[in-house]
Amino acid sequence: MGVKLASLTAGRHPALSRTDVVVLCGIALVLVANLVGLSLHGDGFNIIVDGWMALLSDWAAVVLVWLAVQRGTPRRADVVLAAAAVTALAVGDTAYRLLPAASAGDVVPTLSDGAYLTFYLLMLGVVAVLAHRSLRKQAWPVLLTSAVGALGASSVLAVLLSPALDGASGAPLSAPIVLSIAFPVLDLLLIAALAGIAATPVRVLGRSGLLLVAGLILFATADVVYAQRVQLDPVLIGTALNGAWAVGFALITVWVLVTARTRRRPDHTTVTSASDASAYAATAIAAPLVATAAGLVVLLVASQTEVSVLAVSLAGSALALAAIPLAFRHRLLHSLSRTDELTGLPNRRALAMDVATRLRAVDARPSALLVLDLDRFKEVNDSLGHEAGDRLIERISARLTGALQAGDLLARLGGDEFAVHLHHADRMRATAMARRLRAVTARPIVIDGLSLELGLSIGIALSPEHGSDLSGLLRKADMAMYSAKATRMGQRIYSEGDDSNDGARLRTLHELRIALTDDQLVLHYQPKVDLATDTVPGVEALVRWNHPTRGLLYPADFLDVAENGGLMRTLTRVVLELALDQAAVWQAQGRELTVAVNLSSRSLADYQLAGVVTRMLTARGLPGSALMLEVTEEFLLVDRDRARNILMRLRSAGVLIAVDDFGTGYSSLAYLRDLPIDELKLDQSFVIPMLDDDRASALVASSIHLGHSLGMRIVAEGVETAEVLDQLAHFDCDMAQGYFVSRPVAANQLERWLDDRAVLPIDVPAGR
């Protein structure tokens, strides 16, 4: 049968579309023209530069960010709030330029002031979402870092704003003066909060966060200058300040665009090692050190000249918070380094420390270490996205926690892998607990409206029977888990045979890496004969490994190793390239053959697949009909909307679609009506026994009739005798594939077989 291949993993940073590039370039040109115009047109308002060009760049940015939000799947709260904040800025700029200016004595804020305040409220919402994503069990260190940074920055800001504050103290309180002081304070508070989030061991902002921080720093700088000048002129249009605000606006816009097109990581990176902890420690104390230095500078200046009481108070508060005992910080950091960010469970580092302590206890009794791995979790991530995968992991961890007893330790090792240490447990209790954990996991979980049922593979290592140190127990439990997964047993206690199996698996994985780069993979091709015309319209490509010492290996010998070893993406690309290279050779020879490649559901869940396939076809000058992708019923039914979207993109490129092993999957046939399918392949489990089994014969006949009524071709697999071929022709089956027609052979052998058939065709019974 066809080779089952895994996914071409989607990247985290989808490429910008041509439209995005054009619009971004347009915004950049307008921004540059605006800045040049500001520097050349002199003082005062210019309708072209300060009016139309500035507003055009603002609203073009608004359109672009909302288009990015619309394309985002799923839509993220932080991106939506940030897009709304950009819109509020554009509204504020528009009102600032087109509506009557505020007067010095106004008490009520203008529309532009309200829009700018809305920007800060929405950005605080963005910070709240980011904080929720990064804090979890880490709130106090982040809040402490942010508070120290905010107080230190505010003390410096109070010094810079002293002229404005002094002027405000002797003048009637008005909205322009109050807001001119509030805006830079809000800028610095946002920057301080973002700095605190960036100091967590969870990488939420990434490098693109520098764009946001840079934009806010420009805003803060311009707002400080504005606060010092607003008492003289409440409307400062056509000055360098507008240039600073415009560049800051552009940086924030670009950050929104990058964030909207960046997928969240499936596994949140937390501090798990001593080196990571040291790196985080340096980051975590950087902000307090800078804030402390800023506070000391302010106090030093206050000792030499007159500084406002507010500035001195803020600087003193920053120093007081920064003086929290270092040991307390280390305790906080130690707690962070032991906690999994997503689930709140102990992480791998905590497991290593706690289990080692248990095993060293003087009164240590027999115990068990279980390694748990979810089955088919990658398919959920690929089909529904990492957000759904994260929610699934949280739900699973809650179920596992509820199933354990007092004294048992559950930890998340990373990804979809967990570990459980059962204190005072023998073989019987470990086996019973494994069954219990599998039972609670097997119950359906509803995620995004879909009911998911996932299995759990568990490997068990016993102490002291299998060792008394954690590393050895973990290695043996992991080997047992892999054996349980490979044999679909569900759970397995480690045995000595697992060592040899694990060694063979590692050797195979190492050799397969070499094979993928040394062109050791080859394809064999099995022809499909048209029963009406006795022609061969296509072949199915089947991968083989031409191993240098073990000879020709079949898929069963290496596909599972490739999938668990993370090599399926490379293997998939190699098979597609080999198949299309051969199709191009046959096309040059005048042989119009469609080459079929059977891909797994994970491969076809990749949104990039259509683009990859299209580029491969174009590079070889092949039409889309030169390739047929054989899919499984499982893929078509897990997420029908996603399946339709991907298959329609492939169909638009001319690629043909077939359903492999038809009749062995789920019972629903609704996908045949909704999805673009060209061909159904009847599984050999129905075809082989059809002469001796009336029910199998009836299923074959009814499937052929069903496919024809929907306009699909029917291919019968596993044809091994002339009698079966005769019966299929009698049922009006379209094509046949099997050993009676031809075994899978190398390309040159297939060419000779095709040439021989042209001279002496086989006798195909007429059934129509």
Fold classification of 525-545+566-758 is: TIM Barrel (3.20.20)
Answer yes or no: are the C-beta atoms of 485 and 491 closer than 8 Å.
no
pLDDT confidence bin for 542, thresholds 50/70/90 = very high
Q: Is the pLDDT of residue 56 over 70?
A: yes
Read off the pLDDT of each residue in 488-498 and give the average, rounded to a whole number. Answer: 79
The DSSP string of 608-658 is THHHHHHHHHHHTT--GGGEEEEE-HHHHHH-HHHHHHHHHHHHHTT-EEE
pLDDT digits (tens, 9 = 90+) for 86-134: 888 888 878 877 775 554 445 456 787 788 888 888 888 887 777 665 5
**pLDDT for the residue numbered 251:** 81
Weakest mean pLDDT among 102-106, 212-216, 489-493, 632-636: 102-106
**pLDDT for the residue numbered 379:** 67
Look up tokens 């967990």; give the residue: 418
Q: Is the pLDDT of residue 200 over 70?
A: no
Read off the pLDDT of each residue in 490-510 and give the average, rounded to a whole number. Answer: 73
**pLDDT for the residue numbered 523:** 95
pLDDT digits (tens, 9 = 90+) for 587-611: 999 998 999 998 866 666 666 778 8
- Please indicate whether residue 147 or residue 596 has the higher confidence score (pLDDT): 596
pLDDT confidence bin for 145, thresholds 50/70/90 = low
**pLDDT for the residue numbered 311:** 73
pLDDT confidence bin for 265, thresholds 50/70/90 = very low
pLDDT confidence bin for 626, thresholds 50/70/90 = very high
- Please indicate whether residue 417 or residue 284 has the higher confidence score (pLDDT): 417
pLDDT confidence bin for 236, thresholds 50/70/90 = low
Query: Taking Cα atoms as reference points, which of 60, 62, 33, 61 lies closest to residue 49?
Result: 33
Tokens of 143: 């809040």
What is the average pLDDT value for the chain, to the nearest integer?
75
CATH level 2 (architecture), domain 342-494: 2-Layer Sandwich (3.30)
Q: Is residue 371 helix, strand or coil?
A: strand
Q: Which residues contact 54 (CB under 8 A, 6 or more apart)?
A: 34, 93, 97, 242, 246
**pLDDT for the residue numbered 363:** 56
pLDDT digits (tens, 9 = 90+) for 338-377: 777 778 788 888 888 888 888 876 456 788 999 998 887 7
Answer yes or no: are the C-beta atoms of 615 and 630 closer than 8 Å.
no
Domain range annotation of the chain = 18-331, 342-494, 525-545+566-758
